[in-house]
Amino acid sequence: MLSPGNDPMTSTERRAGVGLASIFALRMLGLFLILPVFSVAAQRLPGGDNLTLVGIALGAYGLTQAIFQIPFGIASDRIGRKPVIVFGLLVFALGCFVAAFADDIYMVIAGRILQGAGAISAAVTALAADMTREQHRTKVMAMIGSSIGVVFAGSLVFAPMLYALIGLSGLFVATGVLSLLAIVVVTRVVPPAPALVPSRGVGHAEMLLDPQLLRLNFGIFSLHLMQMAMFVVIPSALTSVGGLPLSAHWKIYLPAVLVSFVLMVPAIIYAERRARVKEVFVAAVALLLLTQVGFAFGRANFVLLTLLVLGFFVAFNILEAMLPSLISRFAPAQLRGLALGVYNTTQAAGLFAGGWLGGYLVQNVSGDAVFIVGGVIALMWLGLAGSMSAPPSRVHSRPA
């Protein structure tokens, strides 16, 4: 039997990784293209001068994502991953076209609600886990996470250009078309899904209360809470300390994201090949804690601020790749969809909580309070991560 370090990914695993990363990239590219321009573009719609409605339009997607991740995950356990993914992409595309041809902000909100109802993240990550062996699973999750990061960084650069060419309606149409292209990838590129494992003898409540899974769900909640809260403060710091206008912030974010991917890869490879998954995971949480402390006390220095942004993205990308992989290892194979549905719902809750908490603390306390609270949460996570069991490390037979 080959050791994990000498057992390369099979063609099926590589094809699954590339295909599933492409699905995420096509879907998320459309979403990210909207974000940098929507608050300005929406003002041209009837009702778009109401910033509360604009905020609801932006947030409606995340709300319905949180609601539907668990049902979609359970459905993928019962009827299969691919049918659920295709259905979710169709619902998402319908929402795009509703928003594209909206006459007012209310119809845009309806479209965004439909977009979020196509909640396929749990089914896609469960399929990635189904089609890869444990020693390569984090690499595939990293491929998926990297694809999302790349399209996010690209959207910061290209969204304003595309908006100038095709307008807000055109961006929504392009988003719908990209979603339909993702269906082609599901059916033509991604290899056939393995047979579902019967769920007899496995209790849902027992799995949901598993201490290892609770630790990981607390982690993804904390990670995205800190991310959203941080971006309430960092943009203004880049402007005030570095003298960068908002339109030039991508010059910091894009290099930081790309360099963080380069630094993430050896960390992931080391963790898997040397069976040091827990150690690398704990180190990434520790780095996250250090960035929160650094932001609290050192963001007045522009060079240090940019290094802290880089450090945050390094920790973020390592953890974003490792967390779903660990969920899939600790959860029973027959309930992966449910486990990852809970995980993605918790992630969405973290995004909402971070945006609310960051805004509240900045308005009522101070910017420093955002990172002090973030540091306390990161410290709690570090304690939980340190007491986590090492994940199972089994070498499976090679997929076809």
pLDDT tens track for 327-382: 878 877 777 778 888 888 888 788 778 877 887 888 888 889 999 999 999 999 99
**What is the structure's pLDDT at 392?**
66
Query: Measured on CA atoms in the order 42, 47, 51, 52, is the torsion positive or negative?
Result: negative
Q: What percent of the chain has a predicted confidence (pLDDT) above 70?
A: 90
Chain segment 71-116, per-residue pLDDT in tens = 888 888 888 889 999 999 999 999 999 999 999 989 999 998 998 8
Question: pLDDT (tens digit, 9 = 90+) per residue, 150-162?
Answer: 777 777 677 778 8
Average pLDDT over the chain, rounded to an integer? 83
The percent of residues above 90 in pLDDT, for the chain, comes to 25
Are 103 and 302 a contacting pair, CB within 8 Å?
no
pLDDT of residue 107: 93
- What tens digit of pLDDT does each residue of 23-46 get? 878 877 777 777 667 767 777 888
Is the pTM higher than 0.85?
A: no
Cβ contact 395:3 at 8 Å: yes
**Distance between CA 254 and CA 310 in Å, rounded?**
10
Predicted confidence at residue 1, as pLDDT, reads 38
- Distances 196 to 4, 123, 131, 286 between C-alpha atoms, Å: 25, 13, 11, 37
Helix axes 134-184, 250-273, angle to 10 degrees: 130
Q: Which residues are CB-neighbours of 267 under 8 A, at least 6 positions away?
A: 280, 284, 318
Q: What is the CATH number of domain 204-390?
A: 1.20.1250.20
Q: Where are the domains of the chain?
A: 10-193, 204-390
The yes-or-no verdict on residue 290 having pLDDT over 70 is yes
CA atoms within 13 A on the CB side of 126: 37
pLDDT on residue 216: 93
- CATH class label, 10-193: mainly alpha
pLDDT higher than 50, residue 265 = yes
| Same fold yes or no, 10-193 and 204-390 | yes
Residue 48 has pLDDT above 70, yes or no: yes
With a cut of 70, say whether residue 202 has pLDDT above it: no
Query: Which amino acid would we find at residue 133?
Result: R
